[in-house]
Amino acid sequence: MKLKLPEGLLKAYLFDCDGTIADSMPLHYKAWKKALAEWNCEFEEKLFYEWGGVPVAEIISRLNARDGLSMPVEAVARRKEEFYFELLPELQAVAEVLDHINIAHGRIPFAVVSGSTKESVTASLVALQLLDRFETMVCAGDYLKSKPDPEAFLLAAARLGVAPEFCLVFEDTEMGIQAATAAGMAAVKVPPPWERE
């Protein structure tokens, strides 16, 4: 399956990481299940994908509110990251996105824009041997409002010195596409694993 890019002059590519560059969503879900099992907290797979792009701390807060739990946000987030790092040897790139990275690398600048922590994104990109392809990373903690707010994409464009209208966003979540649109950027939707095969 090929990703069809929009027409027009594009001077920068902005990529979400999890589910877009890295086929990491199944691994993140395994890590979540393991971390939350320690607190007898259920996290349905459908809901996990619906909340794609929501920062880790916010997910834990939402689950606490939903289930009347008081899981310590930082401790659970740390456990979840530890379990994810253990699974990294299994990580693969999303082939359709990797094609565009390989074709355009060196011709236009790239940024990663993610709701995950910088440590998690860096670990994923190192595992995929892609870290050196990106001029900048905008991760959780670099911005105040998460997707669907455009703040993170606008920050990445500013760091690259490219006007929003010349940026193309690669995203796998509806919230990410909404954020790109709100930023005045073109976007291409990366289908979920079960649609790519």
- Give catalytic residue positions: 16
Q: Which two tokens stand for residue 112?
A: 């990663």
Please answer whether residues 127 and 88 qualify as being in contact, where contact means their C-beta atoms are separated by less than 8 angstroms. yes
Q: Which H helix or E strand runs over 171? A: strand 167-171
What end-to-end distance do the CA atoms of the chain give, in Å? 8
Separation of alpha carbons 85 and 71, rounded Å: 21
DSSP classification of residue 192: P
Please answer whether residues 152 and 164 qualify as being in contact, where contact means their C-beta atoms are separated by less than 8 angstroms. no
SS3 of residue 39 by DSSP: coil
Q: Give the number of other CB atoms < 10 A from CB of residue 119.
A: 13
Separation of alpha carbons 34 and 193, rounded Å: 21
